[in-house]
Amino acid sequence: MEEKYILWNPSPIITDDYVVKTITYGTDGTIVILESRIDSKKNLIRLKFGAAADSYMVSDKNFRQGLYKKLKNIFFDEKDYLKYGGRFLVENSKFIKWLIEISGYLECFELKHFILINENAVFDIVSRIDPCIEVIKVN
């Protein structure tokens, strides 16, 4: 089956202008910080996947041109800007299939493949849960 990309907006507070600022992995699990690419005074958004994020991969956009070609006609505007903030869920994910193959045990979990795209990179996150969403106030 072919991969299918579905727009993912986990909360109405995350508008289309929010993009990935940072992604970290540590004792708190995988944490993504989103910022507005238009208004630096807008609050930041924290997506906390916690320890349930089984894998993440960061790729320079030049290595993901195949993905860009698949998304281009649907999710890019006339100026080649990614619409909808570049947040997707992937159905029939090849990445999840590969992780299951190499792990030997992940097939017992229901996994979700999230893709977050900014101007320079593609972030793939595989998790058993949706992230917790927190607003970080900007002064």
Let me know how many helices (H) and strands (E) the chain has, helices first: 2, 9
CA 21 to chain centre: 12
In whole angstroms, what is the distance from residue 98 CA to residue 120 CA?
A: 24
- C-alpha span between 48 and 76 (Å, rounded): 27
Give the total number of structural domains in the chain.
Answer: 1
Higher pLDDT, 69 or 56: 56
Check residue 119 and give its pLDDT.
78
pLDDT of 139: 66
pTM, whole model, 2 decimals? 0.85
Q: What is the pLDDT of residue 86?
A: 80
**Reduced to 3 states, what is the DSSP secondary structure of residue 6?**
strand
Full residue range of the structural domain in which residue 14 is found: 4-136
Q: Are 99 and 54 in contact (CB under 8 A)?
A: yes
At 60-105, the pLDDT tens digits run: 988 988 887 787 767 766 555 666 678 889 999 999 999 888 887 7
